[in-house]
Amino acid sequence: MLCEYIYKLKMNVTNTDLLNNRNKYSIDILEQNIVKNHLDEKILLATQTLTPEFCVKYILDLDIEGGGEESYIFDICYILQFQKHITEKELRDLIDV
């Protein structure tokens, strides 16, 4: 059990891994790899089951006007299209905290 835990802590996940292993990775593993391995937000949304907290922290982009031409993509509606188990209220409640 401890060996499995240590292995997961050191697990290296790439965008290809996400595409080949849908809904496989825990939030802990995704958090460890999102910045380190430059995981693509679109791929994360389409292939993994994410929590509202993860989406707000790592994917949601509220700075639509200040961003590039793709900034609009990561708004609440876009996240909800892929993460059907999350509600708009859950995301908005986390934003308002």
Domain boundaries defined on the chain: 2-95
pLDDT digits (tens, 9 = 90+) for 10-29: 789 999 999 999 999 999 99
Q: Which of 11, 66, 71, 15 minimizes the C-alpha distance to 43?
A: 15
- pTM score, whole prediction: 0.82
How far the first Cα of the chain sits from its last, in Å, is: 36
pLDDT of residue 64: 60
Q: Which two tokens stand for residue 60?
A: 């949601």
pLDDT digits (tens, 9 = 90+) for 41-52: 999 999 999 999
